[in-house]
Copies of this chain bind each other. A is one copy, B any other.
Amino acid sequence: MDNEQQKKIIEATLMSASQTLNVDQLLKLFVNEVSEVTRDEIKAIVQTLQEECSGRGYELKKVASGFRYQTREEMQPWVDKLRPERAPRYSRAFMETLALVVYKQPITRAEIEDVRGVAVSSSIFKVLLEREWVKIIGHREVPGRPAMYGTTRKLLDYFNLSSLNELPDLVEIKDIDDIASELILVANEEIPEQQQLESMDPPAGETQH
């Protein structure tokens, strides 16, 4: 079997797959075949296929759990024209809860509620767990042993990411920062300097300017 044939097989498989496939899964296409195919060869073929998508309406994308063909984003407004149903919308409460799990995992529900200042409805967790975007990754060893939540590969897949690293950075909210520093100035006039500074230091490592 020549390289061209292998490429066609991988292409047809990825095109018709209803889920992402990784290199290990693609390797299984060629087990027990006379001509052995290596991981590196699979990778090279996938890369060739990716390059061949250039200038087409679709692309071969690498996301967290593997590779998949998908339409290009700029095509979506057009593709949508033939679709009667709309993609689901998610509420702000849902997205804020999700963002907290994404950026502060592992995190308990109480911790989420603490940051948001409001109770998180059970239905939000139900949907997050049902969609397998979020999973319970352990329990915090405090009274009640609350579940700690973390994100899944499926979530990354859904948001077209291959790793959590690709998420936008948590931004420093400038205005409030300014408020804080100005507050220190004002406060410094009122109370002794050093206590103010201690209490106002932003948490280490999160500062970015």
Q: How far is the CA of A20 from the CA of B55 in the complex (A)?
A: 24
Q: Give the contact stretch, choosing among A71-79, A122-130, A154-162, A182-190.
A: A71-79
Indicate if A165 sits at the interface (CB-CB under 8 A).
no
Nearest CB in chain B: distance from A51 CB, A: 14
Residue of B4, B15, B76, B82 near A25 (CB, 8 A) is B82
Q: How far is the CA of A203 from the CA of B16 in the complex (A)?
A: 38
Q: Give the contact stretch, choosing among A6-14, A95-103, A107-115.
A: A6-14
Indicate if A29 sits at the interface (CB-CB under 8 A).
yes
Tell whether, in the assembled complex, residue A56 and residue B11 are in contact, meaning their CB atoms are under 8 Å apart: yes
Indicate if A58 sits at the interface (CB-CB under 8 A).
yes
Tell whether, in the assembled complex, residue B17 and residue A57 are in contact, meaning their CB atoms are under 8 Å apart: no
Tell whether, in the assembled complex, residue A10 and residue B57 are in contact, meaning their CB atoms are under 8 Å apart: yes
Q: Known interface pairs A15-B57, A15-B58, A69-B15. Does A28 touch B82 (Cβ–Cβ under 8 Å)?
A: yes
**Interface of A toward B, CB cutoff 8 Å:** 4, 7-13, 15-17, 21, 25, 28-29, 55-58, 69-72, 75-76, 78-79, 81-82
